[in-house]
């Protein structure tokens, strides 16, 4: 059945927001028309809402399989403590409990108005639950291992895992956790249309490890008896170093976190990777390192920003709306319309789903969310704003 709904403002993500605009959609949520106030005078409106109508949200970076770790790791203890705790919990949590929490996380994502997720996979635990979800998934089969003699074993395991998922590519975990042999193995099996995701500059220790071959990260690897790659120290930052080892500039790339990236790092990304997305995970960054990336700088450099929640190990919930609220409060000079694009259409582009989601355009099925308790006059959210799924 077709429906026409109207709200105080409709954010289509193409063109200006429409005051008292409306959208028409079918039973599947496919957009049939977008109307301005005048056009709506000739139409029978099924429902008029107070608030902002916005397209469904895109969570560009998540680790659904870590959902079991919710509320089990202490905040603000740094990346080293975080990684050690996650590894401990991974080993000590039964598989049944892990699968149960993945199911719950999928329900939360739906309730939060999220229509697509970029999800990191180290195991096949999420493969089956995803088949029964209406959410679109871009799956990243993540590989790590800095001991060079494991490079072939690691890529073989990733290839076996890849066949269990749809819409997926094999990607490096981070700049620091692979040997040059393993980076090469990933490059050798890449297709140009594979999307890459890589954790970048999540801690200050990562920069020090590359620049000087010292610091907390270096010490951790030494303590674990890992083989420090020959390219360490490189006297350069992480991406400058690995760009000489793995060739991914023909691929769409999500650089995730960038919490300790500076202007030179962003300029390097701009110059080196033509299809780069800067994926920020505000609540996770606050949880682990108690800091945020230089978001205003990234915005001023006109980079394409998208937003992720990261896993429930490092955030209390998987709400993209919550991430938007953190950004709106921390960076009041950035317009809401811009942050909304990061949470919707930019994520859709980053994950390769923009043909169908991210904006209210005829023919798309983007999901429809309503943000209530808003400041209509100034087109802003308030401390009391909340989101409700309409379709």
356 phi and psi angles, rounded to 5 deg:
-115, -20
**Cross-strand partners of 370:** 53, 388
Minimum CB separation of residue 61 from Zn ion in Å reads 6
Which residues are CB-contacts of 308 (< 8 A; sequence separation ≥ 6)? 59, 60, 61, 62, 118, 256, 279, 280, 281, 284, 323
Query: Quick one: 310 or 323, whose CB is closer to Zn ion?
Result: 310
Closest to Zn ion by CB, 199 or 391: 199
For Zn ion (CB under 5 A), the number of binding residues is: 1
Does residue 119 interact with Zn ion by CB under 5 A?
Answer: no
CA of 177: how far to CAs of 128, 146, 196, 230, in Å? 28, 5, 16, 13
* Residue whose beta carbon is closest to Zn ion: 310
Which residue number, 327 or 371, has a Cβ lying nearer to Zn ion?
327
- Nearer residue to Zn ion within complex by CB, 146 or 256: 256
- Sites for Zn ion among residues 343-372 (CB under 5 A): none
Footprint (CB under 5 A) of Zn ion, residues 39-78? none
Residue 5 or 125 with smaller CB distance to Zn ion:
125
CB 78 within 8 A of CB 203: yes
Q: How near is the Cβ of 308 to Zn ion at its closest, in Å? A: 7
Least gap, CB of 256 to Zn ion (angstroms) = 6
The contacts of residue 66 (CB under 8 Å, 6+ apart) are 86, 90, 311, 312, 313
Handedness of CA 233, 79, 129, 253 (dihedral sign): negative
Smallest gap from Cβ 73 to Zn ion, in A, equals: 14
Label the pairing between strands 380-389 and 368-375. antiparallel
Nearer to Zn ion, 31 or 318 (CB): 318
d(CA 284, CA 70): 12
> In sequence order, which residues have a C-beta less than 8 Å from that of residue 70 and are 6 or more positions away?
101, 312, 313, 316
User: Cβ 106 to Zn ion, closest distance in Å?
Assistant: 18
Rounded to the nearest whole angstrom, what is the least distance from the CB of residue 120 to Zn ion in the complex?
6
Whether 138 and 353 have beta carbons less than 8 Å apart is answered as yes
Q: How far is the CB of 367 from Zn ion (least distance, A)?
A: 23
- The nearer residue to Zn ion, 280 or 325, going by C-beta atoms, is 280
Q: Are strands 47-55 and 368-375 parallel, antiparallel or unpaired?
A: antiparallel
Using CB under 5 A, which residues numbered 300 to 329 contact Zn ion? 310
Site residues, Zn ion (CB under 5 A): 310
């Amino acid at each position: 059945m077709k429906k026409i709904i109207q709200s105080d403002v409709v954010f289509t993500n193409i063109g200006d927001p429409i005051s008292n605009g409306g959208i028409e959609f079918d039973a599947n949520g496919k957009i049939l028309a977008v109307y301005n106030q005048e056009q709506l005078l000739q139409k029978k409106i099924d429902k008029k809402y107070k608030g902002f109508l916005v397209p469904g949200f895109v969570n560009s970076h998540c680790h659904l399989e870590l959902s079991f770790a919710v509320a089990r790791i202490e905040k603000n203890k740094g990346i080293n403590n975080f990684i050690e705790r996650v590894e401990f919990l991974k080993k000590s949590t039964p598989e049944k409990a892990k699968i149960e929490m993945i199911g719950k996380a999928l329900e939360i994502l739906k309730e939060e108005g999220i229509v697509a997720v970029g999800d990191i996979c180290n195991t096949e635990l999420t493969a089956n639950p995803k088949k029964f979800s209406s959410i679109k998934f871009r799956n990243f089969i993540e590989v790590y291992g800095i001991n060079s003699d494991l490079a072939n074993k690691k890529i073989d395991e990733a290839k076996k895992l890849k066949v269990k998922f749809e819409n997926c590519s094999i990607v490096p975990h981070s700049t620091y956790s692979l040997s040059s042999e393993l980076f090469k193995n990933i490059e050798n099996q890449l297709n140009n249309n594979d999307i890459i995701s890589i954790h970048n500059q999540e801690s200050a220790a990562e920069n020090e490890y590359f620049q000087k071959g010292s610091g907390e990260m270096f010490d951790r690897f030494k303590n674990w008896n890992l083989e420090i790659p020959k390219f360490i120290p490189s006297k350069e930052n992480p991406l400058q170093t690995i760009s000489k080892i793995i060739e991914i500039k023909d691929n769409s790339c999500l650089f995730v976190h960038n919490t300790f990236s500076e202007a030179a790092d962003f300029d390097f990304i701009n110059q080196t990777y033509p299809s780069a997305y800067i994926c920020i995970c505000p609540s996770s960054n606050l949880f682990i390192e108690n800091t945020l990336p230089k978001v205003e700088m990234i915005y001023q450099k006109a980079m394409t920003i998208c937003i992720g929640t990261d896993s429930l190990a490092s955030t209390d919930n998987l709400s993209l709306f919550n991430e938007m609220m953190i950004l709106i409060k921390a960076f009041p000079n950035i317009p809401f319309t811009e942050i909304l694009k990061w949470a919707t259409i930019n994520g859709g582009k980053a994950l390769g789903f923009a043909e169908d989601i991210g904006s209210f355009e005829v023919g798309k099925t983007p999901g429809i969310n309503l943000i209530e308790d808003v400041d209509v006059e100034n087109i802003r959210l308030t401390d009391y704003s909340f989101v409700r799924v309409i379709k």
